[in-house]
Amino acid sequence: MPKIDLYRNVHMGQRARLFTLSTELGAADISQSSAATEQADGCLAMTRELREHADHEDTFIHQLLRERAPEAADALDAEHIRLDAAFTTLDEQARSLPGTPVDSLPEAQHALYLALNEVISAYLAHLHLEETVAMPALWQYASDAELGAVFAAFRASRTPEEGLEDLRRMLPAVPPATRAAIVRNIVEAVPGQADSTLAALCSTLRPDQRNRLYEDLGVPEVWAASTA
């Protein structure tokens, strides 16, 4: 049975969306009406999400890590301080972008792009530390039951809407077998609501990903058509 990994899938989703955000900001036609506001809002939404994610980890994971592997926990605390400074810089530049004079917009856009990529650079290092230091320490010093309890406590803290959004963010970034296993568990947990649940979960998948999911789940053709 696979080990319980508290970081892997959610981190894959974060990486995918950070890379997409960077690409879209770099290529955006900032001269178009509302484009500056849209790009700024995208950056601000991402820093809000990453701060919220850090709070969740601190609440549900890192307390156990501090008890069992305090040196690893100290390293993560230092990372969070560095990340918060990068988030603050990005937020400040994002908020100023929509009010930038037209002739200064290209340089302001690029400055925001650089600030975003500074966040990405720092955040990737942080994810690597969690995945290669913190998670192995938890595997070594905590039982499967304790790790399962951490995951269950986090899920219980989320509203149905928040839980659905968590899955929509993550599912496009994970491999097909992992995606099918996650969705199968969710669908089987809500008897009589399988079609609507599947449709909600598939809303962020590309058509090829959705078709592969239907295939892996053995979804009847008429059911798949109703959720497309």
pLDDT, tens only, 102-149 = 999 999 999 999 999 999 999 999 999 999 999 999 999 999 999 999
Percent helix, strand and coil across the chain, each to the nearest 5: 85, 0, 15
Q: What is the pLDDT of residue 224?
A: 47
Q: What is the pLDDT of residue 1?
A: 63
Phi first, then psi: give them for residue 53, nearest 5 degrees.
-60, -45
* Domains of the chain, residue spans: 8-156, 160-227
**In CATH, what number does 8-156 get?**
1.20.120.520
pLDDT digits (tens, 9 = 90+) for 153-167: 999 999 999 999 999
pLDDT digits (tens, 9 = 90+) for 62-111: 999 999 999 999 988 888 888 999 999 999 999 999 999 999 999 999 99
pLDDT digits (tens, 9 = 90+) for 189-222: 888 888 888 999 999 999 999 999 999 999 865 4
CA-nearest of 98, 122, 93, 94 to 18 is 122
Flag whether the pTM goes above 0.75: yes
